[in-house]
Amino acid sequence: MELKADQEKIIKQLITQEEMLSKLYGHFSEQFPEYSKFWNQLSKEEHRHARLIQKLFDAANRGKIFFDEGKITTYTLNAFISRLEQILHKAMKNEYDIKTALGCAMDYENSLIEKNIFTHFDSSSDNVKRTLNILHSETITHRESIRKVQQTIAGNG
């Protein structure tokens, strides 16, 4: 089954969102050198997520997997991306301290988990299921990693 125009746009927005998170985390790795390893790891994984979603998009276009957008709308994702653009703009001007940067990261990772973004794809393919599991589990791991750094900073503050 071919993707509908809205479905295509939603998946492309998901890719954009992951690329922007990668860029944001990459900037934070430079801004907060004492945490650069942490931020670089998140940045690399978000970049990989964008590539994996692109592969899912390609497979959906070939009819190999099914995508059901559910309650996700292009309007909601536009608002999400617009807010992320504002955060990225402020971050580039170094307007965030480490606590605020971690708070922004936690908010975005939580919202990805709460929206169950990656459960909207479906396939009988084990490769697709593995890819979806990677996306979901790494997003949960991101949240746990951010929480640990937040706790470390709170303990030092």
DSSP 68-137: --TT--HHHHHHHHHHHHHHHHHHHTT---HHHHHHHHHHHHHHHHHTTGGGGEE-S-HHHHHHHHHHHH
What is the domain partition of the chain in residue ranges?
5-156
d(CA 58, CA 120): 15
Task: Kindly report the pTM of this predicted structure.
Answer: 0.92
> What pLDDT does residue 157 have?
59
36 burial class (0-12, 13-18, 19+ CB within 10 angstroms)? middle
Q: What is the pLDDT of residues 23-46, one digit of tens each?
A: 999 999 999 999 999 999 999 999
Q: What is the pLDDT of residues 70-80, one digit of tens each?
A: 888 899 999 99
The mean pLDDT of 145-153, rounded to a whole number, is 95
The pLDDT confidence band at residue 124, using thresholds 50, 70 and 90, is confident
CATH topology of domain 5-156: Ferritin (1.20.1260)
> What pLDDT does residue 125 have?
86
Q: Is pLDDT of 130 > 70?
A: yes
The mean pLDDT of 105-128, rounded to a whole number, is 86
| Among candidate residues 44, 37, 48, the one with its CA nearest the CA of residue 149 | 37
